[in-house]
Structure 1
Amino acid sequence: MSDMLPEDASERQLLLTGRMAQWALQGRARLDHLAEAEFKVFSQWGEDGIIEWLVQRIPEITPRFVEFGVENFCEANCRFLLQNRSWRGLVMDGSDKNIKEIQGSPLYWQHDLTASCEFVTAETIDAILSRQGFTGNLGILSIDIDGNDWWVWERISVVNPQIVICEMNGVFGDLHPITIPYNPLFQRTKAHPSGLYFGASVGALKLLAERRGYMFLGTSSSGVNAFFIRNDLAGHVAGHLSQARAFPSRHRDSRNEKKELTFIRGLDRAKAIADMPVVRVDTGETVRLGDLGPLYSPEWLAAMG
């Protein structure tokens, strides 16, 4: 008689379903935009499918990843890679409880995974990566720290990722290259109770990517994560995409001072944080978000309804 736990059987079913979706993607040589490749196994939205489609396109991609901001790694961008393709990985989170949960799971001994409790800042990221033995080429670098994402990516120098995935803040719109001012102690819910003030706009990430030698490929349909490929590898992917499309976010995860969901939608999300400062990364100027004027293109406004 099998002693398999129900959660083990459920995870096996998830992996089998993901493997079937992976096989289906092998027939999708060309996409209109990245979101057409989406499927979800362990990712928050459809990033598992996008990642799988990109990995299939790049010959001899380095089978190593670094992902930070993973919480307990139950929902993460690179977990499917770890379990389905046996990549080696480094995951980091600022909660010791989350890291101990990862280290105590069967996943940790079954795969070549390193989990480390770290509060990632622009000043510490290179030292952390070097200490953990993750330098040089990476297949994927995934950044999601709900705050200084732009500033941390700007400072990373000890790894050379082939694909970069970075969380974007869709509330900041698509017309201005802006990010929160750098504060190494930044915490999203303490900065503004709504939780809407964090990170960088897709335009800011695109500008940084260009400076760092990466091409923008598009975003998830949720408007949460932006995808970039190193310029020397862009030829393997760019010709297979009709457009590099950025989607607006539509989720309504705003909160009040009691941390209760308030479900603010559309333009009202930006109005809620209009008095907060942002940095234009093209000029270095710090301004109020509300002083920038329109934040959203007609295409984004139409998609947001």
Structure 2
Amino acid sequence: MNLARAISYYRRVRDWVQATDAHDRTRELLGALLAQQVSHMQRVSSLREVEFRVHSQWGDDGIIQWLVSRLPSIPRRFVEFGVEDYSESNTRFLMVNNNWSGLVMDGSLENIDRLRHQKWFWRYGLTALPCFVTRENVDSMIADWAGGNAVGLLHIDVDGNDYWLWDAIQCILPAVCIMEYNAILGVDRAITIPYAADFRRFDAHFSGQYFGASLAALTALAEAKGYALVGTNSAGNNAYFVRKDLLNDCVRAVTVADAFTIPTFHESRDPRHRLNHLNYERSQSTIRGLPVVNVTDGHVEPF
């Protein structure tokens, strides 16, 4: 590449970075206005009423802003894993808008390297670790970072061992836990995939629909840990749990039946790993018969 072409390339990259930064700032300013609006909302019939999106994939930024406004005394520290490069995540706006600090982890060193080179990485109290999280290492990883300090919010979204990871975490008792649930596993059964430390979603089944845990399974675990289900997002993939001692007239428990949402997205794949956009029922049929663990008795049974 000659000098003129190199300079031209540099300028294009610079302009793209500047445009991206400006776009992020604009979204964050609009998000701050929306956060003020939802903070004035007292009781809501559903968490979906307060949804908005800044850096979250769906409307979870708004839900989180409403919850922290209704739970004002909780610690301003978070833990989130399965963040990829953090460009799209559920705690980034919380960090930027509310000045929270936190720990994020991802199994890809490339993702974490990209994250660490962003301007907002050094501007805030963010720790980013490359780590493939397992039941065996998750508690010690969090404990080393937390150092005995309380945590306000935990978010687990790893498309796999979500249930088993939450079950293994003993070192912290966050005020709010956000758990990805797999709605394809249905509303009635409290089930999860069997634990495998090296679980990878598309290696387990070509469709990508065999992963995680049902909402009923996560709610059963939440009950055992002292949490109540308070709702889900409208996309049908994230469930919100709040410690029972923090429930109040605004933040109230709901049932699995009331909170369950069939997902709005269609991300199934065919045996050649091409998106085939199967609907809810056909996605269920694709993984019918695969082994799942009934968390109420620990028995392995067919889906």
User: Residue 263 of structure 1 aligns with which residue?
Assistant: 277
Alignment check: 8 A CA contact 1:94 1:117 kept: yes
User: Residue 192 of structure 1 aligns with which residue?
Assistant: 205
For the structure 1 residues 128 and 202, does the alpha-carbon distance in structure 2 shift closer, same or farther, using more than 3 Å as the test? Answer: same
SS of 1:138's partner is coil
Deviation at 1:36, TM superposition (A): 1.0
Deviation at 1:280, TM superposition (A): 0.6
For the structure 1 residues 86 and 238, does the alpha-carbon distance in structure 2 shift closer, same or farther, using more than 3 Å as the test? Answer: closer
Q: How does 1:132-151 map onto structure 2 within 5 Å?
A: 132-133=145-146, 135-151=148-164
Whose Rg is larger?
A: 2
Aligned residue-pair number: 288
User: Residue 276 of structure 1 aligns with which residue?
Assistant: 290
* 1:10-52 alpha-carbon deviations (Å, 9 max, x no partner): 0110001101111111231111111111000011111100000
Q: How does 1:37-116 map onto structure 2 within 5 Å?
A: 37-116=50-129
Structure 2 unaligned blocks of 5 or more: 1-14
Q: How does 1:89-238 map onto structure 2 within 5 Å?
A: 89-133=102-146, 135-235=148-248, 237-238=250-251
Pick aligned residue for 1:6 from 15, 19, 24: 19
For the structure 1 residues 236 and 73, does the alpha-carbon distance in structure 2 shift closer, same or farther, using more than 3 Å as the test? Answer: farther
Alignment check: 8 A CA contact 1:29 1:240 kept: no
Deviation at 1:244, TM superposition (A): 5.7
SS of 2:146's partner is coil
Structure 1 unaligned blocks of 5 or more: 290-305
For the structure 1 residues 195 and 134, does the alpha-carbon distance in structure 2 shift closer, same or farther, using more than 3 Å as the test? Answer: farther
Alignment check: 8 A CA contact 2:43 2:250 kept: no
Distance 1:12 1:273 in 2: 42
Distance 1:272 1:186 in 2: 19
Which residue identity lines up with residue 236 of structure 2 in the other structure? Answer: G
Distance 1:3 1:171 in 2: 39
| Identical pairs, percent | 40
Pick aligned residue for 1:245 from 253, 259, 265: 259
Task: Report 1 or 2 for greater relative contact order, CA contacts < 8 Å, sequence distance ≥ 6.
Answer: 1
Could you say what the CA RMSD is over the residues aligned between the two structures, in angstroms? 1.9
Alignment check: 8 A CA contact 1:39 1:46 kept: yes
SS of 1:28's partner is coil
For the structure 1 residues 134 and 64, does the alpha-carbon distance in structure 2 shift closer, same or farther, using more than 3 Å as the test? Answer: farther
Quick check: 59-68 or 256-265, which moved more?
Answer: 256-265
Which residue identity lines up with residue 187 of structure 2 in the other structure? Answer: D
